[in-house]
C-alpha cells in the first residue's frame, strides 16, 4: 500500500486507531470468529465516530483500495476482511443507550448482542436479537434477524426504528419510515449493500420476568421421537416458545446426540407443560431452568466459540421435519465426524420458531424476502487442518444440497423457489440461489442510487446490470 497515501489517511483521521502490518497489535486486529475468515489487511481503521468512517471510505475510493466492514466478524468466508485492502473495524463503537420512557435502544454499529441484551435487561427490557450473543448487531440486523423473541415480535428488522448510515459518497444519513424511507426499506434485509451503519435504534419490550430455557441432550436412539415432539411443539402455535435441535457430540459423549435448546417465555410451570412430552423422553443432560432473558443468547456460546477453521452452510426445510430424513442426516454426520476426529466440534443446527408474526409483514414491506413458514438451519463444520479445507467444505455442500432436494420434494410448486435467509447463505453457495426474491428489481434501483460504484460488494452483492 502506498506509504504516502497511508500517511495522508492517518493525518486526516480524527479519532481512530490505525493498524498496518508493521504495527504492534496488527495481528490481533485481524482476528475473526473463524480462522477461515482471516485475511491480511493493508490497513485497519478502528473509528469511534461516523466522520472518520466517511474519511476512510472516501480515501479508499480515491486510492482504488478494496473495502471491508467488520462488526462482529462472524463471516467464515472473510466478508469482514480484505486482503491488502482497508478494513473499517467498528469494535470501538459499542455503546448502548436505553430510553426507558419510550422503550427504545440506541445501539452503535460495532456492538454485540451481549451488550444489547445486558443493557436492556438492566431495565427489564428486551428486543429481538441473535441466538449467539457474541454476534454483531450490524450483520444480523441488516440481513433480517431471527431470534427467540421472533414468535412474539417478528424479525430484528421489524423492530428497527431508524439507522444512521455512512454512504459510499460520504453522506451521513438517517434512514427511517419518515427520513429516506427507500433506504430504510433496503437496509431491512439487504443492508450490506448500501453503506456502513453506525447506529441502530430498536423497539424494546417489557421483559421483567425470567424465562424457561436451557439444554436437554438425548441419546441418538431417541432422535425420531425428539423430532416428533419438537414438531408437535411447533404445531401448537405458541409464540412464546421456540427450540433449536443441534446434532452434535457434546464433550465427554461417545457419539453425536440430539441436543435441544428449549425456550419458553413464561413460568416454569408453563414451560414444563409445553415441553413436557419432550422432557418425558428422559434426557441424559438437562440444564433447563428459569434464567434472565439476557442469558438466553449465551446458551450456544460453548458450541460457538472463537477459533479453528469453520464452514457455515444454510439449510432450509418445510415443517414438520421428517424424522426419517433426520435419521439419515444424523447417521451420515456421525460417520463423517468419526472418520475424522478433527471434526468432532462440528454440528447441524435446526431451528423451530413460530413464523406467524414474521409472516404478518408483507414481503414487499421490507427488502427481506424470506417471509414464509420455511424453517432455517445451519451445517457448521469445525476443524484445525488447513489442508482439509476443500474436503470439508465439499462435504458440507453435498449435505446442503440434500437438504435442498428434501425441501423441494415436500414443497408445492409455489414453495420451491421461496427466498432463503441471507444470514445463513455464505457467498458462493450453489444451493442458495434466491435471496432477494421479488424485491430484486427494486433493490437494483436502490443500489444504483446509493452505491452506484458497488463499493459495498462483500455479502450477497446486488448486481447493477
Residue 237: its pLDDT value, please?
85
Q: Does domain 3-89 have CATH number 3.30.43.10?
A: yes
Residue 216: its pLDDT value, please?
98
123-157 pLDDT tens trace: 999 999 999 999 999 999 999 999 999 999 999 99
Give me the mean pLDDT over the 210-217 stretch: 98
Quick check: 414 pLDDT over 90? Answer: no
81-130 pLDDT tens trace: 999 999 999 999 999 999 999 999 999 999 999 999 999 999 999 999 99
Closest by CA position to 67, among listed 59, 294, 75: 59
Residue 316: its pLDDT value, please?
92
Domains 96-207 and 211-424 equal at CATH topology level: no
CB 396 within 8 A of CB 379: yes
Give me the mean pLDDT over the 383-410 stretch: 94
340-360 pLDDT tens trace: 999 999 999 999 999 999 999
Confidence of residue 161 (pLDDT cuts 50, 70, 90): very high
CB 353 within 8 A of CB 368: no
Class of domain 96-207: alpha beta
Give me the mean pLDDT over the 326-331 stretch: 98
Confidence of residue 425 (pLDDT cuts 50, 70, 90): confident
Give me the mean pLDDT over the 292-297 stretch: 97
Q: What is the largest distance, in Å, between two alpha-carbon atoms of the chain? A: 69
As a whole number, the mean pLDDT across the chain is: 95
Residue 431: its pLDDT value, please?
65
CA-derived radius of gyration, the chain: 22
Q: Which helix (H) or strand (E) holds 215?
A: strand 211-218
In angstroms, the CA 305 to CA 307 distance is: 7
Domain spans, the chain: 3-89, 96-207, 211-424
In angstroms, the CA 176 to CA 159 distance is: 12
Residue 94: its pLDDT value, please?
98
Give me the mean pLDDT over the 24-28 stretch: 97
Give me the mean pLDDT over the 370-388 stretch: 95
Confidence of residue 432 (pLDDT cuts 50, 70, 90): low
Whether this prediction's pTM lies above 0.75 is answered by yes
| CATH number of this structure's domain 211-424 | 3.40.462.20
Amino acid at each position: 500500500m502506498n506509504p504516502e497515501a497511508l500517511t495522508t489517511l492517518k493525518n486526516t483521521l480524527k479519532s481512530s486507531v490505525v493498524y498496518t502490518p508493521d504495527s504492534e497489535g496488527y495481528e490481533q486486529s485481524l482476528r475473526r470468529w473463524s480462522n477461515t475468515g482471516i485475511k491480511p489487511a493493508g490497513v485497519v481503521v478502528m473509528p469511534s465516530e461516523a466522520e472518520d468512517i466517511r474519511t476512510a471510505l472516501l480515501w479508499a475510493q480515491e486510492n482504488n483500495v478494496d473495502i471491508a466492514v467488520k462488526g462482529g466478524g462472524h463471516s467464515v468466508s472473510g466478508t469482514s476482511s480484505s486482503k491488502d485492502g482497508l478494513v473499517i473495524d467498528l469494535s470501538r463503537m459499542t455503546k448502548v443507550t436505553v430510553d426507558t420512557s419510550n422503550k427504545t435502544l440506541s445501539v452503535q454499529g460495532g456492538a454485540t448482542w451481549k451488550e444489547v441484551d445486558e443493557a436492556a435487561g438492566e431495565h427489564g427490557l428486551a428486543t429481538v436479537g441473535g441466538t449467539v450473543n457474541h454476534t454483531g448487531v450490524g450483520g444480523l440486523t441488516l440481513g433480517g434477524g431471527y431470534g427467540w423473541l421472533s414468535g412474539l415480535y417478528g424479525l430484528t428488522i421489524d423492530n428497527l426504528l431508524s439507522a444512521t448510515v455512512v454512504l459510499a459518497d460520504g453522506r451521513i444519513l438517517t434512514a427511517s419510515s419518515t427520513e429516506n424511507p427507500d433506504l430504510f426499506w433496503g437496509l431491512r434485509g439487504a443492508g450490506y449493500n448500501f453503506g456502513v451503519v453506525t447506529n441502530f435504534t430498536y423497539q424494546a419490550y417489557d421483559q421483567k420476568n425470567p424465562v424457561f430455557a436451557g439444554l436437554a441432550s438425548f441419546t441418538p436412539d431417541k432422535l425420531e421421537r425428539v423430532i416428533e415432539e419438537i414438531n408437535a411443539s411447533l404445531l401448537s402455535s405458541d409464540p412464546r416458545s421456540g427450540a433449536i435441535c443441534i446434532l452434535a457430540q457434546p464433550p465427554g459423549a461417545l457419539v453425536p446426540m440430539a441436543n435441544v435448546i428449549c425456550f419458553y417465555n413464561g413460568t416454569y410451570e408453563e414451560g414444563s407443560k409445553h415441553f413436557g412430552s419432550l422432557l418425558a423422553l428422559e434426557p441424559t443432560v438437562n440444564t433447563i431452568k428459569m434464567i434472565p432473558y439476557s442469558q438466553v443468547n449465551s446458551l450456544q456460546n460453548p458450541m460457538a466459540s472463537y477459533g479453528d477453521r469453520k464452514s457455515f452452510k444454510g439449510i432450509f426445510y418445510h415443517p414438520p421435519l421428517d424424522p426419517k430424513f433426520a435419521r439419515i442426516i444424523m447417521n451420515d454426520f456421525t460417520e463423517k465426524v468419526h472418520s475424522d476426529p478433527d471434526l468432532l466440534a462440528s454440528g447441524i443446527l435446526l431451528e423451530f420458531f413460530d413464523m406467524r408474526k414474521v409472516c404478518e409483514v408483507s414481503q414487499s414491506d421490507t427488502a427481506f424476502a424470506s417471509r414464509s413458514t420455511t424453517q432455517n438451519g445451519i451445517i457448521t463444520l469445525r476443524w484445525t487442518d488447513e489442508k482439509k479445507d476443500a474436503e470439508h467444505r465439499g462435504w458440507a455442500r453435498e449435505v446442503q444440497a440434500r437438504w435442498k432436494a428434501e425441501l423441494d420434494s415436500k414443497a408445492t410448486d409455489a414453495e420451491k423457489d421461496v427466498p432463503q435467509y441471507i444470514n445463513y447463505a455464505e457467498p458462493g453457495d450453489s444451493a442458495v440461489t434466491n435471496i432477494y426474491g421479488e424485491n430484486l428489481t427494486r433493490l437494483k434501483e436502490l443500489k444504483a442510487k446509493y452505491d452506484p460504484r458497488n463499493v459495498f460488494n462483500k455479502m450477497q452483492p446486488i448486481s447493477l446490470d
